Amino acid sequence: MSTIDMETVKSLRERTGAGVLDCKKALEASGGDLEKAIDVLREKGLAKAVSKSSREAGDGMVFTYIHAGGKLGVLVELNCETDFVAKTEDFQGLGKEIAIQIAATDPSYIRQEDVPAEVVEHEKALYRVQLEAEKKPEQVWDKIIEGKLSAYYKENCLMQQAYIRDESKTVEELVKAMIAKTGENIVVSRFARFSIVGKPTMC
């Protein structure tokens, strides 16, 4: 049986709301396939958040944030299910906070799954060169590389980033809290970050 890494367990837990042990068992039963594991949990009635996360978010708003005397700007599309929620103060506050987050942290991607496979492989190759130069034993390379990749995602993926106003929670947890509050699916669809001193970042 393949080893199920904790990042996959965490991802499944965030998407379903199921317990850690239930997530681990579902992943083992599905051979580590995240989507199949969600189906396993749904069949057992353990998936709490899937119903919302699978619903289409066809409404929403585009938010802007301008900083540094007009030299830094962000556009972000935040979607929800209805115009009613899109117009609420809570939803608009979330959109503004996410725009500020992007301005401050300059992420390259929205979520971990958006990182191209070739980028991940390039990062892994760099880490292997570093580990070889540091003369680390090869048997621990995989574990160290997994940790370094996790750190890469937390720095470069918006949803995995620590929220700048409260680093005890991630941006994804911030969004999930709003999903729970509004009862609607909420999705960050795309963003663009423009800077006079650097190239724009678009997702």
Query: Over the chain, what is the mean pLDDT?
Result: 86
Give the pLDDT score at 97. 97
82-115: pLDDT as tens digits: 899 999 999 999 999 999 999 999 999 999 989 9
Give the pLDDT score at 135. 81
Token pair listed for 139: 């048997």
- Interval 112-135 mean pLDDT: 89
Q: With the CA atoms of 101, 102, 106 and 111 taken in that order, what torsion angle do they form, in degrees rounded to the nearest 10?
A: 100
Residue 84, beta-bridge partner list = none
Alpha carbons within 13 A on the beta-carbon side of 30: 21
Alpha carbons within 13 A on the beta-carbon side of 102: 33
For a pLDDT cut of 70, what percent of the chain falls above it? 89
Distance CA 66, CA 161 (A): 21
Contacts of 203 (CB under 8 A, 6+ apart): 107, 108, 109, 110, 114, 158, 190, 191, 192
Stronger pLDDT, 116 or 47, i.e. the higher one: 116
- Interval 2-29 mean pLDDT: 79
Identical fold for domains 6-53 and 59-110+161-202, yes or no, is: no
Alpha carbons within 13 A on the beta-carbon side of 86: 16
Closest CA to 76 of 56, 55, 61: 61
Q: What is the identity of the amino acid at 100?
A: I
Res. 36: pLDDT tops 70: yes
153-179: pLDDT as tens digits: 999 999 999 999 999 999 999 998 998
For a pLDDT cut of 90, what percent of the chain falls above it? 45
Annotated domain spans of the chain: 6-53, 59-110+161-202, 116-155
Give the pLDDT score at 196. 86
Alpha helices in 17-88 (DSSP H): 20-29, 34-43, 50-53, 83-86
Write a three-state SS string for 120-171.
HHHHHHHHHHHHHHCCCCHHHHHHHHHHHHHHHHHHHEHHHCEECCEEEEEH
CB 62 within 8 A of CB 188: no
Token pair listed for 197: 């001193």
Give the pLDDT score at 118. 93
CA angle 72, 67, 79 (to 5 degrees): 80
- CATH, domain 59-110+161-202, list 3.40.1190.20, 3.30.479.20, 3.40.309.10, 3.40.640.10: 3.30.479.20
Give the pLDDT score at 122. 93
Third-level CATH fold of 6-53: Helicase, Ruva Protein; domain 3 (1.10.8)
